[in-house]
Amino acid sequence: MEEILNQLGIDKRIIDLSFGVIRPFDEFSSWEYYGAIDGNDKSGFPYPPLFIPIIIDYNSTPIADGIIKHWFTDRVMSFGFMDFGNSFQLGESSINQNQYIEALFFEQFTNQHRSIINNEVLDKAKELGLSENQLTVFKNLTDKKQHNTECYLPSFISDPPLNCIQTENSYKGAHPSNNEILIERNLNNASFFEIFQKEWIGYESPKDSFSWFKKKPNFKPAEYIPEWLKPETNKHQLFDKYVSNNEYDKAWLTINGPGFTPKEVGERLQQLKAYSSDATYHLWADFWCKKYGDMDTFIFI
């Protein structure tokens, strides 16, 4: 895991966080450092391979913060949060590594430390390369009590992640959606798990639990929906077609979607190694398969 993060160019502070060398959370926090727990090697909670966890909360249904990395595409790596219990929904929370560190510590500063700057906070901030001046900015922001306050951190203003976006035109990144907005221009490089409202890609609206009738769609389907995102396509056949056509980006996006067991995903990760010279991808595919590649009693979605 550490070699993979190093080869991806991940900031040493984030690597140290993942392995518990830096521990910003108190002993009562449910957050665990993904690389520091032996149990992670035998975890019963597989996740799609487009996501590399940094910290994870195993309480009840797991949620995790981590890296969104799409091999075989031209998408730039970013950071996000995955909700395992909500169909592995994956949202973008940070565009770059500095944003990730600032937002993570800002959350702890406001929740765990109640926005009080003391020696303990200063020591933990120093470990993450944050200055006392930055903590003063954090303090000023918390006093304003704004919604999604982390979105007003200085590093977020000029290049906000999709989690902080209210209008499509103000977003420069590659993530396809948040809870309210679909960036249709990004669908061609999108995975199923990154689509917050599945009606956007042709799925029916969920039925009301108190009615036998279908609910009227709340979200209009996109004008163009790629094949791998459509509900009616056979994803196994589609993967084979894309590999035969040398469309490895589409093959990758297909297996980061519904209809596969972890074992089936692992087999296809290994198959794609033949078409990639990226040593880091080979390491990640082997790492993922070692953990989850034998699981065949579970299907993603």
Q: How far is 140 from 145, CA to CA, in rounded Å?
A: 9
Residue of 191, 225, 220 lying closest to 68 (CA atoms) = 191
Q: What's the CA dihedral at 91, 97, 98, 100 to 10 degrees?
A: 30
Please return the burial class of 18, using the count of CB atoms within 10 Å of its CB with bins 0-12, 13-18 and 19+. buried
pLDDT digits (tens, 9 = 90+) for 50-75: 999 999 998 778 899 999 999 999 99
Q: What's the CA dihedral at 239, 243, 249, 250 to 10 degrees?
A: -30
Q: How far is 44 from 272, CA to CA, in rounded Å?
A: 24
pLDDT at 184: 96
CA distance between the termini of the chain? 26
pLDDT at 213: 53
Q: Which residue has the tokens 């297909």?
A: 254
At 127, list the tokens: 């470990």
pLDDT at 206: 72
At 140, list the tokens: 């000023």
Give the full edge-to-edge strand order of the sheet including 63-68. 31-33, 51-57, 63-68, 78-83, 89-94
Residue of 228, 257, 269, 280 lying closest to 88 (CA atoms) = 257
If you compute the radius of gyration of the chain from its CA atoms, what whole number of angstroms results? Answer: 20
Angle at CA 9, nearest 5°, toward 7 and 13? 115
pLDDT at 179: 94
pLDDT at 108: 85
Secondary structure letter of residue 76 according to DSSP: P
pLDDT at 217: 57
* pTM recorded for the entire structure: 0.93
Mean pLDDT by 10 residues, the chain (301 residues): 97 96 86 78 77 90 94 98 95 97 89 80 92 91 78 92 90 96 97 98 76 64 97 97 98 97 98 98 97 89 77
pLDDT at 117: 86
